[in-house]
């Protein structure tokens, strides 16, 4: 199991998409994290 979210800290102000990218919550980052988790599961014999 893994989590995607914002660390417990004060964040900056900015445009919606800039903030998503800065804190790792863009679509691309979420897809990358999901792929990493799937690859890890397959590597260790998960179904």
Give the tens place of pLDDT for each residue, 26-41. Answer: 999 999 999 999 998 8
Average pLDDT of the segment spanning 4-33: 90
In-domain check, residue 34: yes
Number of domains observed in the structure of the chain = 1
DSSP per residue, the chain: -------SSPPPP--HHHHHHHTT-SHHHHHHHHHHHHHHHHHTT--
In-domain check, residue 21: yes
In-domain check, residue 3: no
Long-range contacts, 21-29 (Cβ 8 Å, 24+): 29/4
Cα gap 6→8, rounded to integer Å = 6
32: helix, strand or coil: helix
**pTM of the complete model:** 0.68
In-domain check, residue 41: yes
Structural domain range at position 45: 12-47
Instruction: Give the pLDDT score at 1.
Output: 74
In-domain check, residue 45: yes
For residue 15, pLDDT beyond 90: yes
In-domain check, residue 7: no
């Amino acid at each position: 199991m893994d989590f995607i979210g914002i660390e417990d800290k004060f964040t900056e102000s900015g445009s919606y998409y800039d903030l998503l990218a800065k804190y790792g919550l863009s679509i691309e980052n979420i897809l990358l994290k999901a792929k990493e988790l799937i690859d890890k599961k397959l590597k260790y014999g998960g179904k």
